[in-house]
Amino acid sequence: MTISDETITPGNWMSVLRHDVPASLVVFLVAVPLSLGVAVASGAPVAAGLVAAVVGGVVAGALGGSVVQVSGPAAGLSLVVAELVHTYGWRATCAITVMAGLLQLALGGLKVARAALGVSPAVVHGMLAGVGVVIALSQLHIVLGGSPRRSALENVLELPAQILDNHTHAVMIGVLTIGVLLVWGRIPRLRAVPAPLAALMIATLTAAVSGWDLTKVDLQGGFASVQGPVMPQGDWHAIAGAVLLVALLAGVESLLTCVASNRLHDGPRANLDRDLTAQGVANMVSGALGGLPVAGVVVRTTTNARAGARTRWSSVLHGVWVLLFTALFAWMIALIPLEALAALLLFIGVQMVNLGHVRNLHNHREVPVYFVTMAGVVLIGLAEGVAIGLGLAALLALRRLAWVSVDVRPTGERRWRVVVTGSLTFLGVPRLTEALRGIPAGAAVELDLHLDFMDNAAFEALHAWRLEHERTGGVIDVDEPHAEWYSAAINGVRLFPARIPPRHDRWWLPWAYRRRSRSLATAGSYAVIGADGGKHDDISMLCEPQGVPDLLEGTREFQRRTAPMVRPVLHRMARKQSPSHLFITCADSRIVPNIITASGPGDLFTLRNIGNLVPRAGAVPADDSVAATIEYAVKVLGVRTITVCGHSGCGAMAALLGEVPDLPALRSWLRHGRQSLARFVAAEPHDDDTGPLDRLCRINVIQQLDNLRTHPFVDTLVQAGKLDLTGLYFDIGAARVHVLEQERFTPVPELRTG
């Protein structure tokens, strides 16, 4: 659906009438019983809940930051309000609501709304679950015909006596109300009428017809019975704390609902600062008129979106319907049994303990925060429970941030490997030193530091151990695949965690570059120890090949780093390969097919030769190795694509343009490139011509694709649409891949994210 946040014009009145008016009626039918129930649970006048519903709909709906969010009295605030009413009285509570709204208005003006999202969802959900448990326990006593006690613990202790004291009529109307709530939504034909409204209507009619002795809702005088605020008397520190508590709890609940509303529609995204400001204005108005505190409510917001609301007019109109209904039909509300409202609140309280949230939190190991917060709210109090939950969440976050893993294991005779992962701080020093103590003196140690932070205490401990181990004849190879915290500390370089991008794993770097990194980490300077024993700063010196020792070192690094990660994949494909591409490219050492195609084991069946040449069928001299590779890939492996990839600065193409070196085998092989040379001579330069050599390199790719089709089995499959031929060109200097499209190469576009 399309949701708009525009001012209503004659052109879109029909959309409002068609979508928003029906949605507002549905929300109105849900809001009335819920508002009455929240008022009862809060110990406030029943009319105060209806005042908050009107103000939440009209004021917060018109000014709010979400086009579908519906605000009103929230069950999550009922414990706070009940405590304030008990301590200061109802009219003073209204004044606290006004001051809380003023604070929200100031916070919205300071644009700090997103800071509320920093509160752990485990604390918020745990708080709401605790409130739900307290509401359910207190209202259960009313359903049983008694009265609730001051605390949840007292309600639990008094429950057996309350059950034994049989109040038949109250129990029957409560069971009837809960039964309707459970069954109503399961019957498709009845879903048009909200279950809370249906439950109260059926309970009211049943009580009226049967003549049962039940307590009725007190709504004499309607809105006229509501009194305005008076200033609270008492300790101003406690009053200021109450204002802060109401403002923060209502604000956080509203902002979380506002964020959740984004998932309910595809219209404009919610503006959190605007929503917090609107909630502040609504609370000031509601408190001034004698209403409950206002907050965004999930149930009404979800109902509004599912009912088809497209603009904020649905929320505004629902408030208007509540106003008209209360003004004209207050006598109907006075017929509702209080026990039926208590049963509705009992049902809502149980639903606030959402097991779905527990499952989500379990995946992030935050379940303890949820249950500790819930237990704190139930057993101690709302503010105390939230404070305990926030403290536990902070401790767990600190523990995760300071988490470090130290794995020490032998890898051979007098060879050990130590892998340290995580954040190495003073908290992890005991674990680190205890693990390192088990390494025998004189052993060769591979020390891998996968760290996102290292503080000075950890560095001092690690460096002292290293110096002592080397003093006893041991050898330590320090490697930091990510951020170089250890080497930076040796060099006296200051690192900033938030500004350091993680280093990529270096498997793709040439050996010389990796030697340079290791030398920097161990020597503590930017000079590199070369093979001749001298120090060199010129990177070209580092790029000189070092021969077999580097190859063995590379295989050692593969076994150490990469093999454990790829072993499960290779194990599954050990008996059979099923590549999707035959990749024909040059033998040039600078071209690594798996890097430029981001492919892995089993993806490419690769053919490499000098000049990425494909001899034509029946060519002289014949070359069976290339033909055999193509034949095997197509007929046995069943590849669906053959790609020819050339590159800039190709030595084979340079030889074709100049004099071929006096190498008999190479001279014979390059005869297969004569068609490319002839095509180059006949072609006209393009505007993007980068020089004769690179132009020939590109033309050569096109020619080799034509040569592929001289093989009958290839051409037959291409014509049948069962085989695709593609051409690529890799610009080495720019590290950019170009794809062949209609005899022209165009750069492959980068993948944009976010």
What amino acid positions are annotated as catalytic residues?
A: 586, 588, 590, 647, 650
Q: Of all helices (H) and strands (E), which one includes residue 703?
A: helix 692-708
CA-only gyration radius of the chain, Å: 38
Map residue 743 onto helix, strand or coil.
coil
DSSP β-ladder status, 535-536 and 528-529: antiparallel
Helices (H), 78-224: 78-88, 90-109, 121-143, 152-164, 168-184, 195-210
Instruction: Find tokens 């050492």 and name the residue.
Output: 589
CA distance 677 to 663: 19
Which of 662, 727, 648 is closest to 691 using CA atoms?
648
Token pair for residue 616?
Answer: 């034509």
Q: Which residues on neighbouring strands pair with residue 420, listed in sequence order?
A: 406, 449
Residue burial 102-129, b: 16+ Cβ < 10 Å; e: rest: bbbbebbeeeebeebeebbbbbbbbbbb
DSSP β-ladder status, 736-741 and 744-747: antiparallel
Give DSSP secondary structure letters for 254-281.
HHHHHHHHGGG-SSSPP-HHHHHHHHHH
CA angle 113, 115, 65 (to 5 degrees): 20
The 10 Å Cβ neighbour count of residue 334 is 14
- 151-154: Cβ within 8 A, 24+ apart: 152/378, 152/379, 153/378, 153/379
- Would you put residue 213 in left (φ > 0), alpha (ψ -120 to 50) or beta? beta
CA angle 542, 524, 518 (to 5 degrees): 45
Question: Phi then psi for 738, rounded to 5 degrees?
Answer: -115, 145
Question: Phi then psi for 439, rounded to 5 degrees?
Answer: -85, 125
Q: Write the single-letter amino acid at 225.
A: S
Token pair for residue 24?
Answer: 């507002």
The 10 Å Cβ neighbour count of residue 710 is 14
- Would you put residue 42 in left (φ > 0), alpha (ψ -120 to 50) or beta? alpha
Q: Of all helices (H) and strands (E), which one includes residue 27?
A: helix 21-42
Q: Which residues on neighbouring strands pair with residue 316, listed in sequence order?
A: none
CB 391 within 8 A of CB 371: no
Token pair for residue 588?
Answer: 């040039």
